[in-house]
Structure 1
Amino acid sequence: MNNIMKYQREALLGVFLAAISIPFVCLFPKEKQNDLWAILLVVIASDYIGFGIMDGRMKQKLIEIVLCTGFVVLSVLGLWYSTWFLVIGYIAHGIWDYIHDHRMVMTKIKRWYPPFCMIYDWLIGTWLLYTVIQ
């Protein structure tokens, strides 16, 4: 419960930005929406490369580059094959945020970023799941 209260503002920011992102993307034609979600996933994942570079340690840079590459692959698969890959990408990126927040990966990151991004990712992933199963 302590962590929930500790990250209340970050969680609200994640909810707020997801509440803006979803209607914004829905303004575009259906066939273009996955393009936007895929691009956004790549941008979000690449933030961690920036954190790895700022951290300065080669091991942290490599970890972040490898994982970002995985999210790029999921984004491309989401465009070429199925939205399910975008669902997996956003949910998995939320898990990656969780792992950073709980210091299972030691890249130095602003403490507010992982909880905010985790909430955002999981809300977008849930939205995409909804669009796939409807």
Structure 2
Amino acid sequence: MAYLAGGIGGIGILFLGYVTRQGRFLPFYSSLLIVIALVYVLFGVMTGRPAIIVAESAIAAGFMGVAILGVRWQGEHVGSILIASGLMAHGLFDLAHNAMIQNAAVPVWWPPFCGTVDVIVGLWLLRLAWQGQVITPKHHPSAANDKG
């Protein structure tokens, strides 16, 4: 049931991306990867155990680094593939999480749910990248105002 819910959730995220006109904008996927990575930090905080918080935070920092690097990459195709790979890698991390970190606050249904969402969204972004349909910050109208 968690996989089905994750499938619905993943498709729902993609639908919301298109309804809000952000579905082809790379920072949409970068932000999603950051938020997804931070959920495990929240679960770590729920345990109240510093060692788990640190472990979850270290892994989240890696995924956040991928998200930031991908959106800042000069070649939009490579940046898109990097973020898509980060999303799919997080899906694999979800499935291996319990073997890596014993975090009792993670609901039993969360890893298959989140993993399914991650893979669906990652595959979709990969499809967009291969078709050259990803809009990067430097191609977005607001980029003219960006001095950073």
TM-score by shorter chain over 0.5: yes
Q: What is the RMSD computed on CA atoms of the aligned residues?
A: 1.6
- Give runs of aligned pairs for residues 62-77 of structure 1, distance below 5 A: 62-77=54-69
Distance 1:99 1:20, change over 3 A: same
Q: Deviations over 1:74-95 (max 9, x none)?
A: 1111211111121121011111
Could you say what secondary structure the match of 1:83 adopts?
Answer: helix
What is the distance in 2 between the residues matched to 1:96 and 1:24?
25
Distance 1:92 1:29, change over 3 A: closer
TM-score normalised by length of structure 1:
0.85
User: Of 80, 87, 91, which aligns to 2:88?
Assistant: 91
Aligned twin of 2:145: none
User: Of 81, 92, 105, which aligns to 2:101?
Assistant: 105
TM-score normalised by length of structure 2:
0.77
- The reply to whether residue 21 of structure 1 matches residue 13 of structure 2 is yes
The answer to which structure has the higher helix fraction is: 1
Gaps of 5+ in 1: 1-8
Could you say what secondary structure the match of 1:14 adopts?
Answer: helix
- The reply to whether residue 10 of structure 1 matches residue 2 of structure 2 is yes
Could you say what secondary structure the match of 2:100 adopts?
Answer: coil
What is the distance in 1 between the residues matched to 2:101 and 2:22?
39
Amino acid at match of 1:114: P
- Give runs of aligned pairs for residues 12-51 of structure 1, distance below 5 A: 12-27=4-19, 28=21, 33-51=25-43
Q: Deviations over 1:49-99 (max 9, x none)?
A: 011111222221111001111111111112111111211210111111011
Q: Which has the larger radius of gyration?
A: 2
Aligned residues: 124
Over the matched positions of the two proteins, sequence identity in percent amounts to 29
What is the distance in 2 between the residues matched to 1:29 and 1:53?
31
